[in-house]
Chains A and B, each alone.
Chain A
């Protein structure tokens, strides 16, 4: 029993937790931006798949790592544009379109993978991002090690949270995004295009989701597997609700969630096969459902979430 508790006080546990949290942070911020503008983006799972492949494949084809991140972001934004075009001006069901984008993005990725690498049986590896300990800070026991001996992409994840929070709450653009998710007529009446804001938000959000996917192939692991996103996108949707659509709270949720995930892996090793490993693997999904149920009653959704808007309509 004490062993189970001791895990919590090891640096390696927290390092793992932050690493697991990183892709979730990117994707959760991405989904949060979309939803704050009034669009539920269920394309997240597929867009993460695209990002994972695009980033990895760029590096595999000879690009450098940051180019890979950029390509991932751009390919995510492209699917965001498709999602936004279908759901915003055309006002199609965000549920159906989102699922469609996920199916399309995933299958296109697999198609491209097979086309580009027809012969390979085991996926080729790339040289991923390496940990970049911040001098001084990474020497602080546990907390410092956990936060400051990560790869640059993890630092970018945390930076993204700060930027998203700043933009949403401190800039004219963020004001327009929040208003678009609350009452689009307020945006329209001030001469700002609701469609422009919403499509832009979905593109930016989708780019972040794709970078979240790319983290998996370029920082956490070093190659691309089928089905490697494995529901992480859906978990991020739960994290946005859990974080009440606020970047800071969502970050906290992601870390909490990742810590739990890292913990169950270690617990799994401790129990040594008495409990079937599937039980542990189910935990993240069950936990997400539980989190949704717990906050659902007092959740204050952006009022215009999932409601299409037509110009001149009031």
Chain B
């Protein structure tokens, strides 16, 4: 294995398991990939042995996904080579990796929802010009694979009807169906409940016991420690460390991954204020993706961060939509600052003093082809400050943009730069600036740190805590349980559109919350 002289803190390791005596099954050598001025991968080398689970640990933006995209031929590396079972892999050919026995389970599933499990799995495995698609053979093979590896799923079910856990099993089956000997999983637990994650880990152990090899991409320390044999840590496109899992600690990995110590936000206990938002038995009309709210109740007080945990698709979109003004009420009552409302429009939400941080900053939060300044006034262009008699006030808008850019540390060439050119973190700072500048009394933040790097995450957290300290009520919706537990004063769980009773921080264990996220005990409670 080639050395990283300046960075590798320990001598190179020989892979464990059977591979110890043979050549590695997968060998990446000196992979370098640049995008313009950004070096996404800088001379990365990696060896994988048969029967081994290697964790690729790194923050968002560390270069994990780029590396895998190179392996899969979606990108062509500027330098370096890939060898699978001793044979070089031609660059830029997605088919080559599959044919060589490398299978990938993507973070966002690559399934056609209107087709069956069988069709999804067998897609592209039979000669394209054959006059008839052989369903029988495919079904037999899927059945035997599911029973061999304990991956239960009905081959003839339509994917749209499957749960997230089942879909992931289909993804794994897709790889096994193609005789994959090397399986790469990209953030596989991001969408799973703790129990589903456990089941996944069992499957992985079963796979390596049969001689397969696994690369496990993650930024979650706990599962990396739990499941892997070896850990490679990536930071800013480089390998910054490589450890045997049994010989390292969480603290050491964390330090490697982050590079610098970032202080967690200081949460001090402030007394709650009055009730800001009270939902009582609320059901929604189903305009949002995922589950609708179903008889959900929630009380939000000023001066608190209310953390709502849950697996994606359980009604988070409906809840944040209802507060943001994009969802409509079917039944139940809403009280905001003591007044009863029957939902509100997006514009009314702003007038009522609600600050909104949407889940998808590209699709919903910003307009990529408009400028930073224009995006900043998107919610307030009608105020007399920015327009008069229907005419925009250019100078006032520019001045405001400069203020927010400075206050919220948005890195951009100028207020006139198109937002599309900003990094995810700077886009999120722009949205924060827009939402928090009017000093909203209620803030709904849906997945506010998803996909951000460590620095940006810390920044978002600090701003939310600040807003709380100034008396705002903050509803933090997140799939990241760690985030919920570090920030929230009170915690509840959403499952199938219902919201569990809340508990103070620290009252419930992670395990209890995990069970609630899987739906245990919630039906009875609600």
Contacts and interface: CB of A to CB of B under 8 A. Distances in A.
Nearest to A182: B112
Nearest to B130: A172
Interface string B85-113: 00000000011011100001011101111
B110 A183 contact: yes
B112 A314 contact: no
B263 interface: no
B115 A175 contact: yes
Given A171-B133, A172-B126, A186 B111 contact: yes
Contacts of B127: 172
Best-buried of A172, A188, A303 by chain B (most CB within 10 Å): A172
Contacts of A314: 106-108, 110
Contacts of B98: 190-191
A303 B113 contact: yes
Contacts of A312: 69, 72, 74-75
A179 interface: yes
Contacts of A183: 110-113
Given A312-B74, A312-B75, A314-B106, A179 B132 contact: no
Interface stretch (B116-124, B273-281, B297-305): B116-124
Best-buried of A182, A189, A190, A311 by chain B (most CB within 10 Å): A189
Interface in A142-184: 170-176, 178-179, 182-183
Contact of B123 (A175, A300, A303): A175
Q: Is the interface of A mostly helix, strand, loop or mixed?
A: helix
B129 interface: yes
Contacts, number: 90
Interface in A39-71: none
Best-buried of B97, B106, B123 by chain A (most CB within 10 Å): B123
A192 interface: yes
Contacts of B120: 179, 186
Nearest to B69: A312
A271 to B, nearest CB: 46
Contacts of B107: 314
Interface residues on B, range: 20 to 34
B160 to A, nearest CB: 10
Contacts of B246: none
A312 to B, nearest CB: 3
A15 interface: no
Nearest to A179: B112
B128 interface: yes
Nearest to B114: A182
A170 B133 contact: yes
Nearest to B70: A312
Contacts of A219: none
B181 interface: no
A186 B122 CA distance: 11
A72 interface: no
A188 B132 contact: no
A190 B129 contact: no
A170 B108 contact: no
A185 interface: yes
Nearest to B120: A186
A175 B108 contact: no
B441 interface: no
Interface in B53-69: 69
Interface residues of A, number: 25
B38 interface: no
Given A186-B112, A187-B124, A173 B69 contact: no
B94 A188 contact: yes
A172 B113 CA distance: 17
Nearest to B111: A186
Contacts of B122: 172, 175
B131 interface: yes
B125 interface: yes
Best-buried of A174, A182, A312 by chain B (most CB within 10 Å): A312
Contact of B110 (A173, A175, A189, A300): A189
A312 B33 CA distance: 14
Contacts of B75: 312
Given A171-B130, A172-B130, A185 B124 contact: no
B35 to A, nearest CB: 12
B125 to A, nearest CB: 7
A309 to B, nearest CB: 12
Interface in A74-115: none
A308 to B, nearest CB: 14
A124 B259 CA distance: 81
A185 B127 CA distance: 20
B116 to A, nearest CB: 10
A190 B174 contact: yes
A192 B69 contact: no
A106 B356 CA distance: 50
A312 B125 CA distance: 20
A249 B154 CA distance: 29
A25 B95 CA distance: 36
B129 A173 contact: yes
Interface in A172-216: 172-176, 178-179, 182-183, 185-193
Interface string B158-193: 000000000000000010000000000000000000
Interface string B128-168: 11111100000000000000000000000000000000000
B123 A186 contact: yes
Interface string A285-314: 000000000000000100100000001101
Given A182-B115, A186-B111, A186-B123, 20 more contacts: A170-B132, A172-B127, A172-B128, A172-B129, A175-B119, A175-B123, A182-B113, A182-B114, A183-B110, A185-B106, A186-B112, A188-B74, A189-B94, A190-B123, A191-B98, A191-B99, A192-B128, A193-B94, A312-B72, A314-B110
Interface of B: 69, 72, 74-75, 94-95, 97-99, 104, 106-108, 110-115, 119-120, 122-133, 174
14 contacts: A171-B132, A176-B128, A178-B112, A178-B114, A182-B114, A185-B108, A186-B111, A190-B123, A191-B95, A191-B97, A192-B123, A303-B114, A311-B74, A312-B72
In the A-B complex, the 4 residue pairs with the smallest Cβ-Cβ separation, listed nearest first, are: A312-B74, A190-B124, A191-B95, A189-B110
